[in-house]
Amino acid sequence: MTGFTSDDIPDCSGKTALVTGANTGLGYAISEALARKGAEVILACRDEEKGEAARARIAETAPEANTRYLQLDLADLDSIKAAAAKAKKEKRLDLLINNAGIMVPPLRLEMGVESQFAINHLGHFALTGLLLNKLTKSAGKKGHARIVNQASIAHKGARIDFDNLDGSKGYLRQKFYGQSKLANLLFTFELDRRLRAAQSNVSAYACHPGIAGTELMRNLGPFAFMGKVVGAVLNNPDEGALPALMAATSPDAEPGGYYGPYGLVEISGRSAGRAIATATARDPLLAARLWDKSIELTGIDPGLAPDAAPYLGDISSES
């Protein structure tokens, strides 16, 4: 049985994709693959020099690629709002791939909370909320737009500590990374429920790269060299990008689906397929609480009413 490979990426001509963290690692691999298939790709990155360098690299391998840089700092709400305002001026927006992230940095605060939770989750929550109408209008009545959130197997065993989002009551880097990745999945599944309830032409998906050798490992101090080792033994960025590309482009990807490497218990593989999310990640009550807290922290409301069904339980047998 085989899974999704780079050969399965369909033609993307006529589509516009916005990829966060597109200058390196998974984001670059995702952007390059989409550009090769004809999509116009907006490389949303914090550093303009690195973003433009990534565009130049894509042009070397795909001379016909249509790419552009968009300044975006996911730790800064003003930057997120400015980036969204520019993206709304695009002719269309068909794919929003929320890929950027940080992993196990020293404790610092952004938006009043710990930086991994802020950048990996809140920044993307805000960006998605601001661009939802643009995605809806681009899809039209008969079209289809997609939102893809990059999660991680690190969500397994994680929980959301609402009483310690700023790390003031203790900070363990890996624990807070897992919390941010759990938030990515909770957000995806709640977004899917609300989009379905609204009968939207926009769908939400989640993915994870397994264990891939990328610059995410730069905060591991003396163990940062492990990134290259991981890339050689497990997944390189091109392989780690396949689940996101499947979620973003495959006609077989189901709304609300979660995709990961198709091999070695989701750690590695040269193809992608269904991934396993924990029961905690699929908890609608926890997701609804996170949704409301995210609105409170960012001041941005995606404007989607909740789907009541998951919260009511099975009432069919009640008299």
What pLDDT does 266 receive?
83
For residues 33 and 7, the answer to whether their CB atoms sit within 8 Å is no
Q: Which residue has the tokens 């409170």?
A: 296
Report if residue 136 sits inside a domain.
yes
Q: Does residue 317 lie in a domain region?
A: no
What is the per-residue pLDDT for 308? 72
Strand (E) or helix (H) holding 77: helix 77-87
Q: What is the pLDDT of residue 221?
A: 54
Taking the C-alpha atoms of residue 105 and residue 318, their distance in angstroms, rounded to an integer, is 51
Element (H, E) at 113: strand 113-114
Domain count, the chain: 1
Of 300, 194, 193, 236, the C-alpha closest to 6 is 236
pLDDT of 195 higher than 70: yes
Two tokens, residue 51: 């973003």
Contacts 24+ apart (CB under 8 A), 284-292: 284/189, 284/190, 284/193, 284/310, 284/311, 285/311, 286/160, 286/186, 287/186, 287/187, 287/189, 287/190, 287/193, 288/190, 289/160, 289/162, 290/160, 290/183, 290/186, 290/187, 290/190, 291/187, 291/190
Q: What CATH number is given to the structural domain containing 266?
A: 3.40.50.720
Does residue 319 lie in a domain region? no
Average pLDDT over residues 298-316: 76
User: What does the pLDDT read at residue 307?
Assistant: 84
- Is 301 domain-assigned? yes
> Per the structure block, which two tokens stand in for 131?
């661009």
Q: Is residue 95 within 8 Å of 248, Cβ to Cβ?
A: yes
Q: Which helix (H) or strand (E) holds 95?
A: strand 95-98
The mean pLDDT value for 274-291 works out to 98
Q: Side by side, which strands form the sheet with 145-150?
A: 66-71, 40-45, 16-20, 95-98, 145-150, 202-207, 258-261, 272-274
pLDDT tens for each residue of 53-82: 999 999 999 999 999 999 999 999 999 999
Q: What is the pLDDT of residues 13-47, one digit of tens each?
A: 999 999 999 999 999 999 999 999 999 999 999 99
Considering the entire predicted model, what is its pTM? 0.91
Contacts 24+ apart (CB under 8 A), 225-233: 233/268
In a domain, 113, yes or no: yes
Annotated catalytic, 262?
no
pLDDT of residue 318 exceeding 50, the answer is no
Integer Cα distance of 274 and 280 in angstroms: 18
Task: Using the predicted structure, report yes or no on whether residue 289 has a pLDDT greater than 80.
Answer: yes
Domain that holds residue 71: 9-312
Residue 24 lies in a domain: yes
Centroid of chain to Cα 288: 19
Residue 243, C-beta contacts closer than 8 angstroms, at least 6 positions apart: 4, 207, 208, 209, 210, 259, 260, 261, 272, 275
| The pairing of beta strand 66-71 with beta strand 145-150 | unpaired
Which residues pair with residue 19 across a beta bridge?
43, 97
Determine, yes or no, domain membership for 100.
yes
CA distance 206 to 98: 9
Residue 226 has pLDDT above 50, yes or no: no
Among the listed residues 28, 69, 177, 259, the single catalytic one is 177
In this model, does residue 141 exceed pLDDT 90? no
User: To the nearest whole percent, how much of the chain has pLDDT over 70?
Assistant: 90
Is 271 within a domain?
A: yes
Average pLDDT, the chain: 92
